[in-house]
A = this chain, B = another copy of it.
Amino acid sequence: MKENKTIGEILRENRAKKGLLLRHVSAKLDIDTAILSKIERSERKATKEQILKLAEIFDLDKDDLLVLYLSEKILYEIKDEELGQKALKVAEQKMKYISKNKSGN
């Protein structure tokens, strides 16, 4: 039973839970409501900074939200690629290799 909501869906749910309007939240982000609307409907991507602010606004765990955000960014890169799955696995391998060989490890 895996959850599989988009970050946009999560943002919208949390905004509703707090009883906030697009207007309120977008003001805090200092952007037009139009953009926030699009972010919530996955029509646009948020910036990292916006994600961090949103985590604050909704009292969500920043790391959790960031992980979700980054995973969507990754998927965006390979969404139209046949070889996406394989590329992901190779990326993981490389990542492990890199962190193994980090100084101070």
Residues of A within 8 A of B (CB): 2, 4, 63, 66-68, 70-75, 77-78, 81, 83-99
Contact = CB atoms under 8 A, between A and B. Distances in A.
Q: Copy number of this protein in the oligomer? A: 2
A90 B78 contact: no
A90 B72 CA distance: 9
Contacts of A93: 2
Contacts of A95: 75, 78, 84-85, 88
Contacts of A94: 4, 71-72, 75
Contact of A70 (B4, B72, B78): B78
A83 B99 contact: no
Given A75-B91, A77-B77, A92-B92, A84 B70 contact: yes
